[in-house]
Amino acid sequence: MIGFMFVVSFLGLFSLVPLRKIMIIDYKLIYPSGTATAYLINGFHTPRGEKLAKKQVRTLGKFFVYSFLWGFFQWFYTAGDDCGFEAFPTFGLKAYANRFYFDFSATYVGVGMICPYIVNVSLLLGAILSWGLMWPLINNQKGHWYSADIPSSSLHSLQGYRVFLAVALILGDGLYNILRVLHRTICSFVSAARSGPTSSLPISDGGRAVTSPAASFDVKRRNEVFVKDQIPKWVAYVGYVAMAIVSIVTIPHLFPPLKWYHILVAYVFAPLLAFCNAYGCGLTDWNLASTYGKLAIFVFGAWAGAHHGGVLAGLAACGVMMTIVATASDLMQDFKTGYLTLASPRSMFVSQVIGTAMGCVIAPCVFWLFYKAFDDIGKPGTQYPAPYALIYRNIAILGVDGSSLPKHCLTLCYIFFVLAIVINLARDTCPKKVARFIPIPMAMAIPFYIGTSFAIDMCLGSAILYVWERINKAKADAFGPAVASGLICGDGIWSLPQGVLALAQVKPPICMKFLSRKMNDKVDVYIGTLS
């Protein structure tokens, strides 16, 4: 396992290094977690004499404590499944059944305060389109488009539409953006060649930052630092090719059903998928590596075939693809933090390489510790059921069986793939005053699969910031990022003691659930019979 981690984990680090300036400076992607981390770090290194900075740090600390205590308070009411404030039917039980509810997540309220309004509106639009319209309508076709006997969580039924339509939108948006980058880069080279050696490229990793005349001093300074301490492109190219060759040689020995040509094809397309994932994460803070992993299961499992170990081949390909796209997204998140804190990109990259190498040893050891300490790990109904292991195995079995997708699912995938490209074309060709109201397909796609609660959280964060700006714009601009960072960091830090409590088998004392009036009457009658 350690060997497998070493041969696949570093590919993601090399895959997007040449695009780091495009993602951070040109596209100005937010990467909310990276931005919040940078704001927290900058708060600790602010000059003492600046009153505003002190107030910002104090505000951050205040909301950090509020968020942490709110997470602690919520924990007491989560003793069972679908318990607590996370399952609060804010808009009614019918809406909750379709995943329309506010889950009181301080993290995503904070993320919504950082993300641009158009991102949050796009998320909400995607949530309404999918969970408000499409999924209920498709669910009404149960028995016609797919078997009524299959649970909705199966990829043969409603879940198939959720997963593959989201993937279609994501791939359409990602493909359009990477082709746009390639087009701009080629045009820049052609223009530079015609104009002579003194011309500079609008998208480059050259020795100076490209900033508009109106850019603030802080932005100019950050851009200069970010492009000054370069990571040579040849390092990324040589590193990716070298690690790919090592993987192509070694992985077939670790997983014989996964042939060398399978891995070669995976590594050809991995940078495209890594770009899609990093781009989406930069907009919404969601890492969708698992979605691309599911896609790899289907493609490579079906390619290998049921009689040639297709299940194992699909699962191994899933591990390879998920590792690459997740690592690339994490690196861009760290680059955003480094950009905002004036850290050296080269140092950030070297640190990421060292951390990845440590993880390649530590993660398998932790897994082995659990595997040896708990004999029943992975079994349903036990303390550590590992539900996703069963889910991914069933997806692999579905893929190699050659079973068709639900009726009209593939047709809808084609439609949404084209729709993503058309929307992006509209964003690029319409006047700016119109384009800023056109939604972002990548953001719209995420609620298709995940649900609506986080989109509602983020829109609430946007609404809070919008009202705050209308009341006092100067104060909102000064303290909004501090409030958002405090909410994100406090809720994130609470996950550490929550994990310790779970490992110590300390369970919450209360389960808070919500029932309809009729169901509540039945429960009261049942309790009466027990007494």
Degrees (nearest 5) of the Cα angle 432, 435, 440?
Answer: 140
Widest pairwise Cα distance in the chain:
91
| Cα angle 380, 384, 388; round to 5 | 65
Nearest to 121 by CA among 440, 425, 464, 432: 440
**Residue-level pLDDT, tens digit, the chain, 531 residues:** 888 899 888 998 898 888 888 888 888 888 888 888 887 777 766 654 367 777 888 888 899 999 999 999 999 998 887 888 888 888 888 888 888 888 898 989 998 998 889 889 999 999 999 998 999 999 888 888 888 888 877 778 888 888 888 888 887 887 787 677 667 657 766 776 676 544 433 333 343 334 444 457 788 888 888 888 778 888 889 999 999 999 999 999 999 999 999 999 999 989 888 888 888 888 777 777 877 888 888 889 888 887 888 889 999 999 999 999 999 989 999 999 999 988 888 888 999 999 999 999 998 988 887 777 666 777 766 666 776 777 777 778 777 775 567 888 888 988 999 999 999 999 888 888 888 889 988 889 888 878 888 899 999 999 999 999 999 988 888 888 889 989 998 988 898 888 888 878 888 999 898 888 888 888 888 888 876
b/e burial code for range 259-286 (CB count within 10 A of at least 16 → b): beebbeebbeebbbbbbbbbbbbbbbbb
CA distances to 454, 488, 496 from 67, in Å:
16, 8, 14
CA distance 190 to 196: 10
- pLDDT for residue 51: 73
pLDDT at 200: 39
The reported pLDDT for the residue numbered 279 is 84
SS3 (DSSP) at 207: coil
Asked if 257 and 308 touch (Cβ cutoff 8 Å), the reply is yes
- pLDDT value, residue 202: 38
Q: Please provide residue 146's backbone torsions phi and psi, each rounded to the nearest 5 degrees.
A: -155, 160
| The pLDDT value given to residue 253 | 92
- Domain spans in the chain, listed from the N-terminal domain onward: 2-30+115-471
Reading the block at residue 342, the tokens are: 């004036």
What is the reported pLDDT for 238? 92
**Residues 258 and 316 sit within 8 Å (Cβ to Cβ):** yes
Give the C-alpha separation, 440 to 517, whole Å.
40
Is residue 505 left, alpha or beta, with left meaning phi > 0 and alpha meaning psi from -120 to 50?
left
Q: What pLDDT is attached to residue 276?
A: 83
pTM: 0.71
